[in-house]
Structure 1
């Protein structure tokens, strides 16, 4: 991955951040947003124009032109800007457009939580999602993550508002494998496991999921004057949102850390039907990543490893 970044012209001081970001997705058990996503996105790395720049800002809000920067690097810029504004105004709300994509969202909300803030990060996509009883895609897949700090680290959740992310469809089309059941629909709105017949991802939770996805569509679109639905026609017209909330702004000092820690402890002590413990959002992925880092190795399929090796030799066209 490092060799591929070097050959693709990733700035030297950003190579480690790019590699770590996609590797983290793989280690947390989200392969559609891990090494496979790196292999796909790396073909666009050379299209970066430069580092992101602030296009407009007023008070707690800012709009950033990503200048087609590599996704993890532009997201890092937006996170730092949102955090600075939250320190000054109590809240930082940053919208970014014209950037390359990144992998999983959780690291960006977690970076805000590590600064003692409550973080919320979301983005949209082309209209690739639909809802129950509909067959036309009209929403982005609209993933969202949030994280908050405790005295024992951060707690985070990272999810798509569709039953499966579009990365699953892309990889299924590439490998010819079937789609997960009841996650994608064909042109008639019927569920399909055929990746070539799939036309839209299904939003989870029927109208409740629909409502949440609709909120994210606004937060990543019209709030900043960004395109929505059919207006999102490429990577460069996709909207991203980074929100940082500063609990210390209501004169409670660091008491929120103790309160959050107590809440987490209460959740962990809650009884389950089988006598176990309640699993916090994101914990399974973090535990899996810790085990993989301890082992010092991960397994990749032969086909994916071959694509990765091609990138490492400078082949950014074959896929």
Structure 2
């Protein structure tokens, strides 16, 4: 991956950040947003124009032109800007457009939380999702991640508002494998496990999921004057980064201990089968820790071949 970034002229100071971001997604058990995502997104690395720039700024809000920067690098810029604003004003809300894509969102919400702030990160996509009872895709897949700080480290969640991310569909089409049941629908609105027939991802939770996805659509669209629905393409996709500083509520650093107490109470909650309640994101972090301890990761031959091709300067073949 490092060699591939060098081949694509990714700025040397940012290569480690890019590699670590996609590797972390893989190690956390999210392969659709890990090395396969790197193998796909790396074809765009050479299209970067330059580092992101602030296009508009007023008070706690800012709009960033990503200038087609490599996704993890533009996201890092937006996160740092949101955190700076939160430290100064109590809240930082940054919208970004014209950026390459990145992998998991948890990297960015946790980066905010590691600074003692509450982080919320989301983005949209082309209209690739629909809701129960509909057959036309009209929402982005609209993933969302949040993280909050505790005295024992950040706690958070990273999830799609669809039952499966679109990366699952792209990889299934590439490999010819079946889709998970009940997650994608065909042009008639019927569920299908055929990646060729699939036309839209299904939003989770019926109207509850619909409502959440609709909120995200506005937060990543009209809030910043970004396109929504059919107006969204690769370079007009909206990304939103929000940082909140609890110390502005007049409690000092008390939120850290309070959050730790909440987490402790959750862990001690009784369950039907015994054991502890699993916090969001807990298993994925544990999985990553185990993988890093062994220093090894298993890849199928096809994906490894794609990574070897990228390292050789071939960013097209699959």
User: For residues 117-266 of structure 1, what are the structure 2 equivalents within 5 Å?
Assistant: 117-232=117-232, 234-266=233-265
Match of 1:62 in 2: 62
What's the CA shift for 1:243? 0.2
Task: Name the SS for the 1:235 alignment partner.
Answer: coil
What's the CA shift for 1:156? 1.0
Give me the CA root mean square deviation: 0.4
Task: Name the SS for the 1:85 alignment partner.
Answer: helix
Give the TM-score normalised by the residue count of structure 1: 0.99
CA distance in 1, matches of 2:151, 2:273: 29
Unaligned runs of 5+ in 1: none
CA distance in 2, matches of 1:317, 1:154: 38
Residue 123 of structure 2 is aligned to residue 110 of structure 1: no
Deviations 1:179-213 (A, max 9, x none): 00000000000000000000000000000000000
Task: Name the SS for the 2:29 alignment partner.
Answer: coil
What's the CA shift for 1:318? 1.2
Give the TM-score normalised by the residue count of structure 2: 1.00
Superposed structure 1 runs of 4+ greater than 4 Å apart: none
What's the CA shift for 1:267? 0.1
CA distance in 2, matches of 1:275, 1:116: 33
Deviations 1:201-243 (A, max 9, x none): 00000000000000000000000000001110x2101000000
What's the CA shift for 1:167? 0.1
Match of 1:31 in 2: 31
Match of 1:77 in 2: 77
CA distance in 1, matches of 2:58, 2:87: 15
Match of 2:93 in 1: 93
Match of 1:283 in 2: 282
CA distance in 1, matches of 2:307, 2:291: 19
Match of 2:268 in 1: 269
What's the CA shift for 1:250? 1.3
Deviations 1:118-138 (A, max 9, x none): 000000000000000000000
Deviations 1:262-284 (A, max 9, x none): 00000000011101100000000
CA distance in 2, matches of 1:185, 1:301: 28
Match of 1:51 in 2: 51
CA distance in 2, matches of 1:32, 1:43: 16
How many aligned positions are there? 318
What's the CA shift for 1:59? 0.2
CA distance in 2, matches of 1:225, 1:188: 32
Task: Name the SS for the 1:236 alignment partner.
Answer: coil
Residue 48 of structure 2 is aligned to residue 40 of structure 1: no
Task: Name the SS for the 1:55 alignment partner.
Answer: strand
Residue 281 of structure 2 is aligned to residue 314 of structure 1: no
What's the CA shift for 1:177? 0.1
